[in-house]
């Protein structure tokens, strides 16, 4: 949508093909229906939030940065915006539909022809210059230039099912392996109903590949029926997806008390024991953790919940502290594309000119958005990639034709 609008404003006659019955089906779901459209951080800080190929985005980010995006929506489209925790920018209305409607209005004003229910099934070279687009239904369409912005493979129900990568392949491009990312982790240990829905606010999740630490994330974690989700599990999945995709199992360690060193935690537990020596261990746990997690932790650490605190041996105390500081879990898989916020992989950046988004292999073919091999963390950074690369592709069509 951003690429089509920009190209139309540059004076091109533009047709946007969308296979769905409406525009922006995925955009509608973003930010839990509220659309976290970008981030308020300095644009120079965005690169650290991009997991793969951040440098490729230099021209795109600086050419149409987060300020330009917020100006576009708030000033030009009159959609008031607000900034929340972590610099996340949302429409004040909390409705992603406002962002979609604003784009639709701008597309109409710029006289972009929008053809809904129109799946493009093939793109072929059409003579010396230009392309022939083949549709599922109807006549083929001739275009002088094409922007492929067909998304990744995640949440296929929104239309981004990955089938469009075949079109890029047919024109000579390659596609790096596609993996689900920003995706819940499936663990070997199933706590099912006992923990599903439980959120922990300030914990640290560390992922190991053998002895190597893959990543360590601090923040909010959510237990699901099959494993772990929430911001830190999703972020960690960016590093784990490739290995899990190869069928590897990865050791996870959960620090449930990251603010306390082992010594401080020992002091805290000794104080509790001294205050209530005749109480059972199971009554101590809710003072340290949510009740359901306390029960699971004692079971996993093989500590009898009825043990009186005064009879807790030093060894048992150390086992308890060990479980609180490094609760072990094993990741065996991700929840897959169906639940992945983003796709890791796509058209290799070395096949695209970063200054224009034009294919280095096929003149007149441009790429934008998630189909490029760039993916970022949550916080509005993935949509910023889509806006910036879409803008740059739309602007560059003109330059490439001069
Ligand atoms: C649940 C969820 C929440 C998210 N929340 C956020 C968030 O809050 N902030 C953020 O920054 N990012 C978020 N993301 C990521 C963000 O939505 C994507 O990075 C972004 O939408 C990518 O834009 P795109 O235009 O490249 O692809 P898409 O938005 O996927 O659009 C591609 C379009 O191409 C169409 N299409 C595909 N193939 C064809 C074809 N052959 N013919 C015609 N049309 C075709 C599809 O139907 C689709 O409409 C979220 C993702 C998900 C799944």
User: 232 CA distance to ligand 1 centroid (A)?
Assistant: 22
Looking at the structure, do residues 20 and 163 belong to the same domain, yes or no?
A: yes
E strand intervals along 126-226: 131-135, 141-143, 146-148, 179-181, 185-187, 199-209, 212-223
- DSSP, collapsed to helix, strand or coil, labels residue 385 as helix
Name the domain boundary from 297, 314, 335: 335
**Ligand 1 center to 74 CA (angstroms):** 22
Residues in contact with ligand 1 (CB, 6 Å cut-off) = 17-20, 25-27, 29-31, 35-36, 119-120, 149-151, 154-155, 158-160, 164, 341-342, 369-370, 380-383, 386
Q: Does the structure show a pLDDT above 70 at 132?
A: yes
Same domain, yes or no, for 164 and 132? yes
Is 175 found in the same domain as 30? yes
Residue 401 has pLDDT above 70, yes or no: no
Domain match, 262 and 350 both: no
- Whether 131 and 86 map to the same domain: the answer is yes
Structure tokens, 58: 């230099």
Is 400's pLDDT higher than 60?
Answer: no
Residue 59: CATH number of its domain? 3.50.50.60
Q: Is 55 exposed, middle or buried (0-12, 13-18, 19+ CB in 10 A)?
A: exposed
Residue 190 vs residue 220, higher pLDDT: 220
Give 375's contacts (C-beta < 8 A, 6+ positions apart).
50, 51, 52, 181, 182, 238, 342, 343, 344, 382, 385
Tell which of 303, 335, 367 closes a domain. 335
Burial of 177 (0-12, 13-18, 19+ CB in 10 A): exposed
Give residue 354's Cα distance to chain centre.
22
Query: Which phi-psi region, left, alpha or beta, contains residue 104 (left: φ > 0; alpha: ψ -120 to 50)?
Result: alpha
The predicted pLDDT at position 364 comes to 95
Band (242; pLDDT cuts 50, 70, 90): confident
How many domains does the chain contain in total?
Answer: 2
Q: Which atom of ligand 1 is nearest to the CA of 24?
A: 49
Q: Per the structure block, which two tokens stand in for 284?
A: 């101590």
Tens digit of each residue's pLDDT (9 = 90 or more) over 283-320: 999 999 999 999 999 999 999 999 999 999 999 999 99
Domain boundary among 310, 335, 360: 335
Cβ–Cβ under 8 Å, residues 20 and 161: no
Q: Are residues 190 and 175 in the same domain?
A: no
> Mean pLDDT across the chain, nearest whole number?
94
Q: How far is CA 77 from the centre of its chain?
A: 26
Q: How far apart are the CA of 295 and the centre of ligand 1, in A?
A: 41
**Predicted pLDDT at 271:** 92
Residues 193, 272 share a domain: yes
Q: Are residues 300 and 253 in the same domain?
A: yes
Summarised one tens digit per residue, pLDDT across range 6-57 is 999 999 999 999 999 999 999 999 999 999 999 999 999 999 999 999 999 9
Burial class (CB in 10 A: 0-12, 13-18, 19+), 275: exposed
Asked if pLDDT for residue 128 goes beyond 80, the answer is no
Best of 2, 160, 334 for a ligand 1 pocket test (most atoms within 8 Å of beta carbon): 160
Spatial separation of the C-alpha atoms in residues 347 and 177, rounded to whole Å = 10
Query: Do 323 and 352 fall within a single domain?
Result: no
Structural domain boundaries enclosing 290 = 184-335
Same domain, 164 and 303: no
Residues 25 and 106 placed together within one structural domain of the fold: yes
Residue ID of nearest Cα to ligand 1 atom 52: 341
Give me the helix-helix angle, 2-9 and 381-401, nearest 10°. 30
Q: What is the mean pLDDT of residues 57-73?
A: 98
What are the CA-CA distances from residue 193 to residues 7, 183, 227, 255 (Å)?
A: 51, 20, 11, 22
CA nearest ligand 1 atom 47, residue? 159
Task: Tell me which of 398 and 135 has the higher pLDDT.
Answer: 135
Report the predicted TM-score, pTM, of the whole model to 2 decimal places. 0.92
| Same domain, residue pair 255 and 368 | no
The answer to whether the CB of 241 falls within 8 A of the CB of 180 is yes
For ligand 1, what atom is nearest to the CA of residue 390?
25
For ligand 1, the distance from its centroid to the CA atom of residue 335, given in whole angstroms, is 18
pLDDT at 402 over 50: no
- Residue-wise pLDDT for 320-379, tens only, equals 999 999 999 999 999 999 999 999 999 999 999 999 999 999 999 999 999 999 999 999
As a whole number of angstroms, the distance between CA 231 and CA 281 comes to 31
* Res. 192: pLDDT tops 90: no
């Amino acid at each position: 949508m951003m690429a089509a609008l920009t190209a139309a404003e540059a004076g091109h006659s533009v047709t946007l093909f969308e296979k769905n019955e409406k525009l922006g089906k995925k955009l509608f779901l973003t930010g839990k229906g509220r659309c976290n459209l970008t981030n308020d951080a300095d644009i120079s800080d965005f690169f650290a939030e991009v997991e793969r190929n951040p440098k490729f985005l230099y021209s795109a980010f600086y050419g149409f940065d987060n300020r330009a995006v917020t100006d576009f929506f708030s000033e030009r489209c009159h959609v008031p915006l607000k900034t929340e925790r972590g610099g996340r920018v949302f429409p004040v209305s909390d409705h992603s539909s406002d962002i979609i409607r604003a784009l639709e209005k701008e597309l109409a004003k710029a006289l972009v022809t929008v053809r809904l229910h129109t799946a493009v099934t093939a793109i072929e070279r059409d003579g010396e210059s230009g392309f022939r687009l083949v549709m599922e239904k109807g006549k083929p369409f001739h275009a002088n230039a094409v922007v492929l912005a067909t998304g990744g493979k995640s949440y296929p129900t929104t239309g981004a099912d990955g089938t469009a990568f075949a079109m890029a392949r047919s024109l000579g491009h390659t596609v790096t392996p596609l993996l689900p990312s920003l995706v819940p982790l499936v663990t070997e240990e199933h706590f099912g109903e006992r923990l599903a829905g439980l959120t922990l606010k300030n914990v640290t999740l560390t992922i190991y590949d053998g002895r190597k630490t893959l990543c360590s994330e601090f923040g909010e974690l959510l237990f699901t029926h099959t494993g772990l989700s929430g911001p830190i599990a999703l972020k960690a999945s960016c590093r784990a997806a490739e290995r899990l995709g190869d069928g590897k199992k990865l050791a996870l360690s959960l620090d449930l008390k990251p603010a306390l060193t082992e010594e401080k935690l020992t002091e805290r537990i000794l104080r509790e024991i001294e205050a209530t020596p005749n109480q059972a261990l199971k009554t101590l746990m809710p003072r340290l953790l949510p009740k359901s997690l306390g029960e699971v932790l004692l079971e996993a650490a093989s500590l009898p919940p009825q043990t009186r605190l005064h009879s807790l041996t030093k060894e048992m105390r150390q086992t308890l502290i060990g479980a609180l500081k490094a609760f072990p879990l094993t990741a065996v898989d991700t929840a897959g594309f169906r639940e992945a916020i983003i796709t890791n992989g796509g058209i290799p950046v070395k096949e695209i000119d970063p200054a224009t988004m034009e294919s280095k292999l096929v003149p007149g073919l441009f790429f934008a958005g998630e189909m490029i091999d760039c993916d970022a963390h949550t916080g509005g950074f993935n949509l910023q990639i889509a806006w910036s690369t879409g803008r740059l592709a739309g602007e560059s069509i003109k330059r490439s034709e001069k």
